Structure 1
Amino acid sequence: MARISARWQHRLLLWPLPAVLLLCYVLPFAGIAVWSVTLPEPGMANYARLATDGSIHAVLWRTLYLCATVGVLALLLAFLMAYCWLYSSPGWRRWVELCVFLPFWISVLVRTFGWLIALRSNGLVNGWLEALGVIDSPLALTRNSLGVVIAMVHFMVPFAFFPLVSSMRQIDDRVLLAARGLGASRWRVFVSIFLPQTLPGLLGAFIMVFVFCLGFFVIPAILGGGQTVMAAEYVFLQMFQTYNWGIGAAICMLMLALVSGLVWILLRFSRVERLVG
């Protein structure tokens, strides 16, 4: 009886988590799934429109393109920062840590407006470039994809940094030293030994960044200025501007299917415990 009682005590301590997940995620998604096939009328008309509507295709392709671009750029920057953090002196490590942790202390809204001030026509970036004589007229850095990509990369670099650091820290330095002792150059050691062992971390970091970017709303809405509409903003416009709840719900289900596929790839080809340390 004591064992049964202890087992039930553990279950009672754990039940709030699945209850919260059920109430906050499962039930709302079930409602969205129902809306996608019942609004404005029952049937698969919303999914048929997803397959034929050119404007929706443009938004989806733009979303995928921007997410992939941000993923690659964030991965490159995070890889350099993680490599420097791992093999640099304690002083440089503190600078890298400051660059990584500082964005977490500032909200995404504040950072987005900061980039808007810096990138606008009379902003800091154009002002500095004109003062240095690099440009004669201001560059268009906002109300387009460029400003959106810059701000999204700035936001996502820390999320790629931590999985890469965790993956790099698990590489046995003795293997690298042995390769150097056998005559391999630093570049050969990096390309043939170090980089292949970080591939699971690279894949995991890219998928994590890509999935996060799929749901971006604030940055494209402010820096895109209505010219770079991504999927999340398009869903908002469909539901709260045109009141087309059915097509908005159908896009949500499509994005859920895409995220589920990416998570499956992450679990299939990367060891999650290596990504989180």
Structure 2
Amino acid sequence: MEDGLRVENSEGVVNSEGVANNENAKDSEGVANANLENTFDENILDELDSSPILCEVLGDALPKCRLFHVKLCKEGLIRGLVGPRDMCILWERHILNSAAAVPFIEKIVVNSKQKRIADVGSGGGFPGLVIAACLPDVNITLIEPMERRVVWLEECVSLMDLKNVTIFHGRSDEVISQVKEHKIQPFDAVTCRAVAPMTKLAGWTIPLLRKHGSLVALKGKSAQAEIEKASKMIRKAGGVNPRVVEAPVARGLQSTTVVIVDKA
């Protein structure tokens, strides 16, 4: 495996065989993916492909993110990671949206020696892979239970040459157990995007944090209502000061709604 990449199974043990055998996942997607592949137009252009905004937002991470973008264009739809309507707005909807979390992470880890964050429910790599590309000095653990998505993440980490990424094949509660049993250190920050409502997310993320660490969750316009509904769950999980922040992405682009929750 590539340096910096470690794929673990649901027991938290390094899987020496990796996750290269993905036949079951491929079979389960069946004929539907074959039909999508036949209709995919490789000539579809992203609206921001040649925009200076990409360099302004992503900086030195742009070359790695371009590799990610190309792979998403070629395989994201047929592998069920993005929708058909996303294909011409992948930069804005997924990559730049994910990059909006970067300033928050930078602020959280600035005084940390370990600089460790976890991305829960990494799926297609949002926001985890984008953060990893933008912050090469931060160690990122991608937590993903679905094997076919772990395979995708492994491929992307190798393609993007991300040395600061570990992939955990399992659920967040398994990692929480390891934190509680002092098998691993808690994280400075936890990120997630489009995983679950805050009523569930609180218990899946906040226990992963060190004292005074923070959850950075990329959410939709219902974020304020979500944290109000989840106030008891947030407190039970050890969270304090939940708030909603509108994070600017770039001029002319829609801001990203972010929920921040601190660990008491």
Query: Normalization by structure 2: what TM-score?
Result: 0.21
**Structure with greater contact order relative to length (CA < 8 Å, sep ≥ 6):** 1
Normalized per residue, the structure richer in helix is: 1
Q: Which has the larger radius of gyration?
A: 1
